[in-house]
A and B are shown apart, each in its own frame.
Chain A
Amino acid sequence: MNKFPFILLMCIIFFPLYAQTDVTQGHHHVMGQMDTSFISQNKPDENKANSCPFSVMSDENNTQVVRYQEKTYRFCCADCAKLFKENPQLYATKIKTIDFVASQFKFTPALITVNKNDIVRLMVTSTDVTHGVYIKDYHINVPIQKGEKKVIEFVADKVGTFAIMCSVYCGSGHHQMKATLVVKK
């Protein structure tokens, strides 16, 4: 009976570690449909094989390369590259690259406006301490350490106004550190 609390405690600790799914690392071959289920996050410094699609100049390990209008688009597989080649204009214009800087206690820019089904690529950096980028409705929660650069990609498939919050405690103004993502029709 005395072991019960410890068994319960171990279950509480290890179950979420086992069961959690990091949706931000998913990769779905649905570019051709501009489907709502496509969410991907590129982390240039880790797990490069998962970082397709549309990782411009960021992932050297993505072997499939397509040059279009003086830009290099890298893909994880031939299928993604093929889909892009079928209609490069459609995808290239839909990629919205935004430099997103986190510092105590603000995000710059504080307002991001994109259109529905744009592929949003946030090039995130932190200038002072560790911060986190959290967008609840897009299932994005990515920590960014000082000096680190991460690329967060997702398809803006939900119309509306969404709060971008810092998810890592960064000081007494942590709760005020917010930005806004507006996705227009």
Chain B
Amino acid sequence: MRFFKDIKNVTILTLVILFFIGIPHENSRFILWVLSGILTAVLVDAVIHRLIHHSWDFPKSAIISGLIVSGVLSFDESFWLIFIFSSLAIISKYIIRLHKKHFLNPANMALFIATLFHFPLTWILESNRYVLILAGLYFVYRLKKWGQVIGFIAVFSVLMFVDGANPFSMISWFFVFIMLIEPKTSGFGFVRGVIFGLIAGVASFLILTFLPQYDFFVVGLFIVNLCNPVLDYWENKQKISLH
């Protein structure tokens, strides 16, 4: 049971289950692609950790980043791309920092660069929505990220409905329950979470409407991640004024 106490273990288990569900529908290249993504991310993270902290550490978060990057990026692309984007995910975590902590979702950062260069994101790891929703609700409960999920689904659904589309056929549960609620970069607290979700939802809708050549979920999350310093500043100001 100790295994399930660590939310990272449960996330890895969920992603691995989704990976195995996806295998029968794809070819052997998909297996190699995902394994390459994981290995690259783990190696890069281990080496950087060693250089910075002079110690070895098993990087569970790198496994998650590697799984997300390789599971979202199209595996029909050249293999060197998965090495580059998995590495970028980890490197961005160590380089792009503010107040000694990263504020951009590492996997999303790599996918953002991929979509900027028009590499297609096929979201293959979104292989079973029931597993995703079940595990996702558990993650949201454990991480207390209700605000992010409610804010995003509410605003994105309303905007899509107004636009004449069925919102629930367009929401990526993989994005909502795996990427949007990333513990360190999605903020803490219900109100902050709702604001985070609202910005992500509006940004995603605007990208889909006006710049459909870019992946709207990934760009939406990147935009709201960029707002993190401003949201932190606003949150701190609120706390000071309350005291």
Contact = CB atoms under 8 A, between A and B. Distances in A.
A9 to B, nearest CB: 6
Contacts of A82: none
Contacts of B172: 169, 172
B98 A5 contact: yes
Interface size class on chain A is: 20 to 34
B116 A13 contact: yes
Closest A-B pairs by Cβ, 9 of them: A143-B212, A167-B120, A16-B116, A175-B124, A5-B96, A175-B122, A171-B169, A130-B212, A134-B120
A142 to B, nearest CB: 8
Given A130-B208, A136-B76, A145-B212, A12 B120 contact: no
Interface in B161-215: 164-165, 169-170, 172-173, 208, 212-213, 215
A154 to B, nearest CB: 16
Contacts of A145: 212
B122 A132 contact: no
Contacts of B173: 172
A163 B76 contact: yes
Contact of B213 (A5, A143, A172): A143
Interface of A: 5, 8-9, 12-13, 16-17, 20, 104, 128-130, 132, 134, 136, 141, 143, 145-146, 163, 165, 167-172, 174-176
B156 interface: no
B25 A176 contact: yes
B97 A169 contact: no
Contacts of B118: 20, 141, 167
A176 B97 CA distance: 37
B121 interface: yes
Nearest to B117: A16
A180 to B, nearest CB: 13
Contacts of B127: 175
A16 B114 CA distance: 10
Contact of B123 (A130, A136, A174): A174
A174 B74 CA distance: 11
A20 B117 contact: yes
B230 interface: no
Given A16-B113, A163-B76, A169-B123, A141 B165 contact: no
B232 interface: no
A174 B113 CA distance: 20
A167 B211 CA distance: 13
A170 B170 contact: yes
A107 to B, nearest CB: 14
Given A129-B169, A172-B172, A17 B116 contact: yes
Nearest to B22: A175
20 contacts: A5-B96, A5-B98, A8-B95, A8-B96, A16-B116, A20-B116, A20-B117, A132-B120, A132-B212, A136-B77, A141-B120, A143-B213, A145-B212, A165-B74, A168-B213, A169-B170, A169-B172, A174-B126, A175-B22, A175-B124
Contact of A128 (B98, B129, B165): B165
Nearest to B126: A172
Nearest to A5: B96
